[in-house]
Structure 1
Amino acid sequence: MRSGTSVKVAALCAAGVAVLAGCGGGAGAGGGGGAVDVVTGVYPLEWLAGQVGGEHVEVTNLTEPGAEPHDLELTPRQIGSVASADVVFFIHGLQPAVDDAAEQEGGENALDVADTVDLRPAADAGGDDAHAEDGHSDDHADEEADGDGHDHGDADADPHMWLDTDRMAQAAAGLAERLGEADPDNAGDYTANAERVADELADIGTAYTEGLAECESRDMVVAHSAFGYLADAYDLHQIGVSGIDPEAEPSPARLAEVAGLVEEHGITTVFTETLTSPRVAETIAAETGAETAVLDPLEGITDRSPGDDYPSVMRANLDALTGALRCS
């Protein structure tokens, strides 16, 4: 559901039919004296908004728990929530339906994460699977090929910035500033909350730096190429069976290519995810004698997640990596 739904909602507004709290932009936190209404597109931003906003915000996430966020379709009610929000916090390129709603209904209340942090290019890798003599490419580029070998999707940037704790801290600061503009009376609280979150994120980042410092392997085979930021931050080498879109079906040639890399470089673990089928990863593992383990891209929290919130899943992912990469 793209712009057509937005047009229908706009027509309802013109006819005087309210969707949720109304049509057009939100009234603002100061107007009604209530909580700041924040709408987010994906779970990590929901967590961040709750942490930065604290008791002053009410957060609505457009992606339902357990749903895969990339191909989200919005209902008219959800589009109405975007139209009435005080702040719409999203990542352009991750969810086209959210992009459309934020552009057409969010107005000046829309905050793209790309306005707060630098995003890495989606096609940074080049997809050549080349390794230097020490077992890694010189620039540790990720392999982000999909079923056709080298197609990285339509997005110009890799949207999975939340797997980089430094970028999450920057996004927290940017969100605090925007919340302070929407709700000046509580601007100091938003800034203090963002600083607290940054400290917590820094602790997680330090744990990753120390935990991944000395490892027998630096190659991680993942179901889809969501871990480029993490790989860049900690000198790891991402080999994605599929590209940035987890729904892309890898070709038989790509499966054979990844299986060959697993055997060639002595990779002992193929990582599965929580929101997509483990079938492909299990097939590669069975063919190569590798094991499987969960590495959660944190696109949503489910019963299969190795934790119940962003920090706990990040720390569980570190445990999975240190075990799979044989870190000391």
Structure 2
Amino acid sequence: MGSLGALMKHPDDFYPLLKLKMAARQAEKQIPSDPHWGFCFSMFHKVSRSFALVIQQLHPQPSLGMQSAYFIWFFELLILLRMTLALQLMLKVQFLWIFNVTYIIPIGTFLEAIEDITLRMGAGMAKFICKEVETVDDYYEYCHYVAGLVGLGLSKLFHAYGSEDLAPESLSNSMGLFLQKTNIIRDYLEDINEIPKSRMFWPRKIWSKYVIKLEIMAIGTLALCYNNIKVFRGVVKMRCGLTAKVIDRTKTMADVYGSFYDFSCMLKVKVDKNDPNAQKTLSRLDSILKTC
């Protein structure tokens, strides 16, 4: 639930944290009795806290949550294969393709969505095993394969379940790209220090010119990372209490706009007026604030 020190500094975090903890415990009671599903759900918190929190709050009937969990596990396993640098290059490419063929299991109306997205993700990851992220277009393409397609897949699952209209692909893809860009910035230090070989997901076109200048703007974690030297010394994360607040208080689109407005204000305050990109950054932030 976060450290006592953090709670002392931010006492208003306590109630959202408590609600989140209670919701998590309630969700644990709904984990299917089947040992395979039980393992799947119980391991979620170890591999992806954010996915776990969201999936556990889905429809109380288990079907949608179970199929979403199934799909996300495919995604996590593909990422694991992609990131396991100890594997020989071509062996990883073969694994990504074999995984697609071997582990697609028919599960009723959800099969088409899971099969389509998993095949496309595996093929895309295999492509970037042999290809460096050189240009901004490469960067967007990589983010599309590893995260944008996840957004598309989840939208298709919700549609197949009958709980949502099918969202425009551009919207689902944009959501995934936003999350992946945030992760790439947050994990910069961890990636470049990877053993036996560094991982570099920033486009060469950007980092070869600006080196340590992180000019991309975003919300939440990016507001903390922007002009923050700690990005190069450790992992910068939102405190647990703030995460709990976002989860607890974001119920409507008005809440979403409010969060974007608040985090954009945080970013705007941190813009260095002497930065050569300051005016461009401020202009984009003003556009977001105007929209909100």
Q: Could you state the TM-score of these two structures normalised by the residue count of structure 1?
A: 0.31
- Which structure carries more helix by proportion? 2
Q: Could you state the TM-score of these two structures normalised by the residue count of structure 2?
A: 0.33
